[in-house]
Structure 1
Amino acid sequence: MSEPQVEVRRSKRRRQTVSAYRDGGKVVVLLPARMSRSEEKRWVEEMLSRLRRSETRRKSPARESDAALSARCAELAEQYLEGRAVPTGIRWVAPMRTRWASCTPSEGTIRVSRRLREVPSWVLDYVLVHELTHLLVPGHGADFWAWVHKYPKTERAIGYLEGLAAAAQLDLDGGDEDDEQDGGR
């Protein structure tokens, strides 16, 4: 990938902050006027790196579309569920009031809250494995958790989601009561 064109803009009013943004095909980096050329070079590289990381997170395949979400489910089902969990449909939905995601095993469908678009990929992967497992085991019994725990970051992801729900003061309890919509994590 080629480096984008960079335009550096210095400002006497800017004292210490550095920022950058895309403007068409170029990156504009805003710097304090007093900054040295070597500091400028270091900050331009740093800001390009930050922009790339930010754009990579936003463009993560599992976050772009329902089709990409479906493709990720296929990968996870193969890796952790012996390829046995195949949903008939999976899609992003508006934020749910009491769930991160839900599954209707009788229909083979999975719905994932758009709230999860911003979580780390390993957390989203856990939620997908959780919901895919409901296609094999509808309840939350020991056999269900035996499958889910094949995903190595299960406990870590559960902790992350619990912390996220607490911080946002969401009433997301994990939904361990069994119903047609599963509850999911």
Structure 2
Amino acid sequence: MTAAPADGWSRGTGNPPVEVRRSARRRRTVSADLRDGVVIVSIPAHFSAAQEREWVHRMVSKLQSKHSQTPRHADGDGTTGPTDELLQRAAGLSREYLQGRGQPLKIGWVRNQNSRWASATPSRRTIRLSHKLQGMPDWVVDYVILHEMAHLIEPSHNRSFWRLLEAYPQTETAKAFLAGAAFAANHGLVGR
């Protein structure tokens, strides 16, 4: 994986090609990534042709705006706090479980992620971790970091993605822990 994949916007050659991927597992969300010079737009399988056109236009415009206005090296992802420690932690996890792949260029804590534990931007190789993970067991945070690094290799939650996480022995336990934490938070339960 290259640090900054070439794309039509940065080369000034116009818009890169677009590939639409429909997913039966996707219900409402739409996402777009720039990979190897191709815009990948993922949409729910039930979208009509008109909805597909509308969302492709929206997402391509959004990516084009982001790529033409923001330099690749600019910070603008809202990460806070020292990231050197997190970069070292990610590098160690990558070596141990991902054969050195999926290492982020930037990883940090954010306070604006309330409905997710973390997120990754493959085109920028960045990872944002919710501040709500702070204080959780290390093996849970390690799983979340590995999960997001796996997205830097494979953006979709497909078989290839989940195979990347098989080497981590705490994957299923960490997923259960996070599900329990989310349930408790959503139902106002407080630990004693």
Show the counterpart of 2:161.
144
Deviation at 1:65, TM superposition (A): 3.4
Deviation at 1:67, TM superposition (A): 1.3
Secondary structure in 2 matching 1:98: coil
Highest RCO, 1 vs 2 (Cα 8 Å, sep ≥ 6): 1
CA deviation profile, 1:22-77 (whole Å, cap 9, x unmatched): xxxxxxxxxxxxxxxxxxxxxxxxxxxxxxxxxxxxxxxxxx83211111000000
Show the counterpart of 2:101.
84
Show the counterpart of 1:58.
none
The reply on whether 1:110 has 2:138 as its aligned counterpart is: no
Show the counterpart of 1:167.
184
Show the counterpart of 1:122.
139
Q: 1:69 aligns with which of 65, 80, 86?
A: 86
TM-score norm. by structure 1 comes to 0.56
CA deviation profile, 1:111-139 (whole Å, cap 9, x unmatched): 00111111000000000000001111110
Amino acid at match of 1:122: W
Farther-moved stretch of structure 1 (115-124 vs 87-96): 87-96
TM-score norm. by structure 2 comes to 0.54
Note the aligned Cα RMSD (angstroms). 1.4
Q: Is the 8 A contact 1:123 1:157 kept in 2?
A: yes
Q: Is the 8 A contact 2:97 2:168 kept in 1?
A: yes
Q: Is the 8 A contact 1:95 1:115 kept in 2?
A: no
Deviation at 1:167, TM superposition (A): 0.7
Secondary structure in 1 matching 2:102: coil
Secondary structure in 1 matching 2:153: coil
Q: 2:118 aligns with which of 95, 98, 101?
A: 101
Secondary structure in 2 matching 1:92: strand
Amino acid at match of 2:131: R
Amino acid at match of 1:75: G
Show the counterpart of 1:135.
152
* CA pair 111-158 structure 1, distance change in 2 beyond 3 A: same
Query: Distance in 1 between the 2:85 and 2:178 partners?
Result: 22
Q: Runs of 4+ in structure 1 displaced over 4 angstroms? A: none
Deviation at 1:95, TM superposition (A): 4.8
Query: Distance in 1 between the 2:82 and 2:136 partners?
Result: 16
